């Protein structure tokens, strides 16, 4: 049958505005809505996939133990702070291995 269609009208009757709540409910339910103007498709409203939602990605990483949630906000002076000392260059030596493992 295809995705629901939302007809956009340039009239004072509101056209698309009158049905936007119903269409957004459809999108929240995982459906795609096609917006048309005089019967011609002009836009598509798709639900955001979990992979595109940074909050969902973080929740998955925390749940799997790959990340920890923040315990406090970053301060403005973070990037002005002196870097930790690494006299033997251990961090720089480890970087190529991290890149090979796609862990950067």
Q: What is the mean pLDDT of the chain?
A: 77
Q: Are 4 and 26 in contact (CB under 8 A)?
A: yes
Range of the domain at 23: 5-45
Determine the pLDDT at residue 88: 92
Considering the domain boundaries, does residue 95 fall inside one? no
Interval 6-34 mean pLDDT: 67
Considering the domain boundaries, does residue 10 fall inside one? yes
Considering the domain boundaries, does residue 34 fall inside one? yes
Q: Determine the distance from the C-alpha atom of residue 33 to the mean position of all C-alpha atoms in its chain, rounded to a whole number.
A: 19
Q: Rounded to an integer, what distance in angstroms lies between the CA atom of residue 27 and that of residue 43? A: 13
Residue 71 is given by DSSP the state: S
Number of domains in the chain: 1
- Residue 38 pLDDT > 70, yes or no? yes
- Residue 89 pLDDT > 80, yes or no? yes
Considering the domain boundaries, does residue 66 fall inside one? no
Q: What are phi and psi of 45, to 5 degrees?
A: -110, 115
Considering the domain boundaries, does residue 40 fall inside one? yes
Considering the domain boundaries, does residue 38 fall inside one? yes
């Amino acid at each position: 049958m295809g995705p629901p269609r939302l007809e956009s009208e340039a009239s004072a009757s509101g056209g698309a505005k009158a049905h936007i709540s119903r269409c957004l409910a459809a999108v929240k339910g995982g459906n795609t809505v096609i917006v048309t103007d005089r019967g011609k498709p002009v836009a598509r409203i798709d639900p955001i996939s979990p992979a595109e939602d940074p909050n969902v990605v973080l929740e998955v990483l925390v749940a799997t133990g790959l990340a920890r949630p923040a315990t406090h906000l970053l301060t403005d002076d973070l990037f002005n702070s002196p870097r930790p000392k690494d006299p033997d260059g251990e961090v720089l030596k480890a970087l190529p291995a991290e890149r090979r493992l796609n862990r950067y």
